[in-house]
A and B are shown apart, each in its own frame.
Chain A
Amino acid sequence: MNCTKCKTKAVIGLPRHNAAFCKGCFNGFVHDQVTRAIKSEKMCGKEDRILVAVSGGKDSLALWDILLKLGYRADALYVNLGIGTYSEQSHAKVTKFAEAVAASHGATLHLHTVEQEAGAGIKELAQLIHRPTCSTCGTIKRYQFNRVAIEQHYNVMATGHNLDDEAARLLGNVLHWQEEYLDKQGPSLPASVEGFAKKVKPLYRLSERELAAYAVLNQIDYIVEECPMAKGSKMLQYKEVLNRLETESPGTKQMFYWGFLEKQSKKQPTATTMTEKDRAVLHPCTSCSQPTTAEICSYCKMMARASAAKS
């Protein structure tokens, strides 16, 4: 198989684009997809201060790498969840990338350790408050990510959600008819109220396989092991189903998610409507001042429940 662009030996075939690329042309393709995503969704500019959420996995480290290579001002935050050797290994991968690659671009890595603040790792916390681990993890990461962005004056927060993540999430929401979540499934969410930073997903045009290939080809040392807490998760089941469909019918995932985005964009001026909706229901948490729909935000409630359970 030869590269569609330069006709040298290809390293990856992309059936959904009816193309194959050598390393150089594939890197160009990936950078081009991210640039298109950023521009079409008005995610950020070169003057913005971006905070990338990194986990040690391929997507978030690839995102940090791509943004820096494209000339964006991107620092990162790593949240150490305290999941034994998994967290130790992922922390080591992030630190290695920060020192070996990001530092040469003048980028900084911020760190938050769940155990230091909560007095327990994520698994123990979830048990204490009788909530699923993935749900507890999501609440903590969202909260800390937004807190660091606001406190350190970043105006854009970027996550490594890719096409597979968004297609699987859309499938889950549609299967359960959770229409209330569909409005927020876009790749760019505005900073709707004071205390919320803008959230963007610059990798939504790239598949998980393409991002893993980018990491391998660019010697990005990421954690290959799956998070032990995610084993058997519904998201993995949805992804498996979508990948079987994709293999039989290339382009299925992008048709599903991009088609949804196109329909949403025709339906309503999303950014304005979402901002108006948020402003109507969100106000500062009485405990920590982060925006919430309740009197006390879900993070503060969770920490209070964990503290009560421990004592």
Chain B
Amino acid sequence: MQVQLSHPARTVEVKGPKKVKELLRELNLVVEAHLVIKGDDLVTEDEMLYDVDQIEVRPVISGGNQAEAEVEAKAEQKPPTDSSSTLT
């Protein structure tokens, strides 16, 4: 099956049939940090995937926010910032 991955964007070929959780394990990806999309549908970890399927494994993590700024400010021994929230 064709599996589309991100960060960086690439496509890999994986032999089916296999369950979603087996696919993630084979790709060394953590379930909690990814969604698996078959065609246009979200699928659960026990779903069986076949060679004809078009699969996207989408990472769900985004980062770089106030905690990062605070840790960096501390590392530089700078004073704390004025307030505590930012955009995500």
Q: Which residues of A contact B (CB under 8 A)?
A: 1, 10-13, 20, 53-55, 57-60, 79, 132, 134-135, 137-139, 141-142, 145-146, 157, 159-162, 164-165, 168-169, 172-173, 176, 178, 180-181, 184-185, 189, 196, 199, 201, 207-209, 211-213, 216-217, 224-227, 229-230, 233-236, 238-240, 243-244, 246-247, 282, 291-293, 297-298
The answer to the question of B41 belonging to the interface, with a C-beta cut-off of 8 Å to chain A, is yes
Chain A's nearest CB lies how many Å from the CB of B24?
A: 10
Query: For residue B88, which residues in chain A have a CB less than 8 angstroms away from its CB?
Result: 53, 55, 57, 59-60, 159-162, 165
Of residues 15 to 43 in B, which have CB atoms within 8 Å of A's CB atoms?
30-35, 37, 41-43
Separation in Å of the B1 CB from the closest CB of chain A? 19
Interface residues of B in 68-88 (CB under 8 A from A): 68-74, 79-88
13 contacts between A and B (CB under 8 A): A12-B42, A53-B86, A138-B66, A139-B69, A141-B86, A159-B86, A164-B61, A178-B74, A185-B84, A225-B6, A235-B63, A236-B61, A240-B61
Contact call B33/A213, Cβ cutoff below 8 A: no
A-B pairs, top 8 by smallest CB distance, nearest first, are A230-B64, A169-B67, A184-B84, A212-B60, A236-B63, A135-B69, A138-B69, A235-B63
Q: How many A-B residue pairs have CB under 8 A?
A: 191
Q: Is the interface of B mostly helix, strand, loop or mixed?
A: loop
- Asked whether, in the complex, the Cβ of B35 is within 8 Å of the Cβ of A213, the reply is yes
Closest residue on chain B to residue A290 by CB atoms: B82
Q: Are B65 and A134 in contact (CB under 8 A)?
A: yes
Count of interface residues, chain B, beta-carbon cutoff 8 Å: 43
Q: Which positions in B face A, CB cutoff 8 Å?
A: 6-7, 30-35, 37, 41-47, 58-74, 79-88
Q: State whether B63 touches A142 (Cβ < 8 A).
A: no
Cα–Cα distance between A282 and B34 once the two chains are bound (Å):
42
Q: Tell me, rounded to whole Å, the shortest Cβ–Cβ distance linking B57 to chain A.
A: 11
B45 CB contacts on chain A under 8 angstroms: 1, 13
Bound-state CA distance A297–B73 (Å) is 16
Output the residue of A135, A176, A282, A292 with the most chain B CB within 10 A.
A135
Q: A139 to B85, alpha carbons, bound, how many Å?
A: 10
| Given A135-B72, A209-B32: A239 in contact with B82 (beta carbons within 8 A) | no
- Contacts known (A11-B41, A12-B44); A234 close to B68, Cβ less than 8 A: yes
